[in-house]
Amino acid sequence: MVKIRRFEERVAQLFAEGLIPGFLHLYIGQEAVAAGVCANLRKDDYITSTHRGHGHCIAKGADVNKMMAELFGKRTGYCKGKGGSMHVMDVELGILGANGIVGGGLPIAVGAALSAKLKGSGQVAVSFFGEGAAGTGYFHEALNMAAVLKLPVVFVCESNQYAEFTPRRTHLPVDTVAERSKAYGMEGYCVDGNNVVEVYETFAGIVENVRLDSRPVLVECFTNRWSGHYEGDPQRYRGKGESEEWQKQDPIAKLEQGLRGEYQVEPDELQQIRNFVESELDAAVSFAKESPLPRGEETLEDVYAW
């Protein structure tokens, strides 16, 4: 969680310095979801992510050097500088892509789950999406398809309260996305997405069941996006004091409190984790800065396989 938070804070800084181009959609505030879910996954389990995908990729084990280099548009990045922030993929880690299209990952996760089921590999596919994506046709098609084909997919709705600039109450006619599970004949759950222990424990049971029974499940995790839709978004749509209220629910602070109280973890130990993360990210930034830009003609590569 700390690595995700600090990756995003550093990326915001580098963006402000003009070192990272394009659109950036930060995951700050939602770390408990990615961390709590992915801690239950095997390396070979699949995830599909969203345009706000850095957190999911890091939680699934992505190399921050290659991520940072990709954000810088460098040849050493995950996608050789062709994908950028919204398209980080690592097939060996089962990361089938952050995705620039809202709802785009849902049917792809269904396909990955089909492949797992046919191979009998015991893998599961997890599709992360926001409550905004629950308004797309792909959401409904994917849930229906996964249910009728009985596929091992966990649909993780990360309700961060906004669909781009539009608040939840404006675009969602139901109280919870999770209740839509009934319409597809699957189980649905709601989780406090700011409490990583709750996320972790809930998903431990769910992922295991999905793995065993090969049936999809829909889980909604309630959390909040601290940043704007994109970096630089003035967020005029947000209520006064709203961000501050949510920040009192900081998932990292909550976890640290628990660790120090219940588990008597020393502040030093927590600081060591933070120090480790800082040095890892220092290295990632240096790697990205020092890496070569792609040559212009590399734009013609990887269109087709020859």
Which residues in the 245-304 window bind other proteins by CB under 8 A? 301-304
User: Which of residues 19, 144, 161, 260 is near other proteins by CB under 8 A?
Assistant: 144
User: Which of residues 37, 125, 156, 252 is near other proteins by CB under 8 A?
Assistant: 125
Least distance to other proteins, CB of residue 246, Å: 32
Query: In angstroms, what CA-CA distances link 96 with 14, 15, 126, 265?
Result: 26, 25, 10, 36
Least distance to other proteins, CB of residue 194, Å: 30
The verdict on 124 binding other proteins (CB under 8 A) reads no
Least distance to other proteins, CB of residue 153, Å: 10
How many amino acids of this chain bind other proteins (CB under 8 A)? 47
157: left (phi over 0), alpha (psi -120 to 50) or beta: beta
Exposed/middle/buried for residue 149 (C-beta within 10 Å: 0-12, 13-18, 19+): middle
Q: Please identify, among the stretches 142-150, 157-165, 198-206, 256-264, the one whose residues bind other proteins according to the rule CB under 8 A.
A: 142-150
Exposed/middle/buried for residue 292 (C-beta within 10 Å: 0-12, 13-18, 19+): exposed
The verdict on 104 binding other proteins (CB under 8 A) reads yes
Q: Please identify, among the stretches 86-94, 159-167, 187-195, 263-271, the one whose residues bind other proteins according to the rule CB under 8 A.
A: 86-94
User: Which of residues 7, 27, 46, 162 is near other proteins by CB under 8 A?
Assistant: 46
The pairing of strands 217-222 and 187-192 is parallel
CB of 150 closer than 8 Å to CB of 214: yes
Least distance to other proteins, CB of residue 300, Å: 10
CB of 24 closer than 8 Å to CB of 53: no
Least distance to other proteins, CB of residue 244, Å: 37
Which amino acid is residue 180, in one-letter code?
A: R
DSSP lists the bridge partners of residue 47 as 95, 126
How far is Cα of residue 132 from the mean position of the Cα atoms in its chain? 14
| CB-nearer residue toward other proteins: 35 or 218 | 218
| CB-nearer residue toward other proteins: 137 or 205 | 137
Q: What is the DSSP code (8-state) at residue 131?
A: T
User: Which of residues 11, 112, 177, 252 is near other proteins by CB under 8 A?
Assistant: 112
Q: What is the DSSP code (8-state) at residue 227?
A: S
Binding site for other proteins (CB under 8 A): 46, 48, 77-83, 87, 89-91, 96-97, 99-101, 104, 106-119, 125, 137-138, 141-142, 144-145, 148-149, 301-305
